[in-house]
Amino acid sequence: MFNVHLSSSRIQDGKIEAEVKLTGILSLGALQPGEVRKYGTTIAPGVYAPVHQHFFVARMDMTVDSKPEEAYKIDDESNFFYLV
């Protein structure tokens, strides 16, 4: 079990930075007496945390700006929460 913290920021020069942080409880495995695992960290006698990985994928629509001579109406005073 773990918590995922995702954050992103837009930089003035047009870059987008993304950061992913994971916190939580280690995934554990059992070891026989005297056994050593190559892909893991021994936590205590007979217990290890196997090495594993997570993939976070972001799909981006690169049509950030509209096409030439294409306009969109922007209503900056819209009722975002649809409150009466």
Mean pLDDT of 33-38: 91
pLDDT, one tens digit per residue, over 47-60 is 999 998 878 787 77
Q: Read off the pLDDT of each residue in 3-17 and give the average, rounded to a whole number.
A: 82
Give the DSSP letter string of the chain: -EEEEEEEEE-TTS-EEEEEEEEEPPP-EE--TT---SSEEEEETTEEEE--------------SPPTT------TT--TT---
Band of the pLDDT at 63, cuts 50, 70, 90? low
Percent of the chain whose predicted confidence (pLDDT) is above 70? 69
User: pLDDT tens, 23-34?
Assistant: 888 889 999 998
Hey, which of 49-53, 61-65, 76-80 has the most confident mean pLDDT?
Answer: 49-53
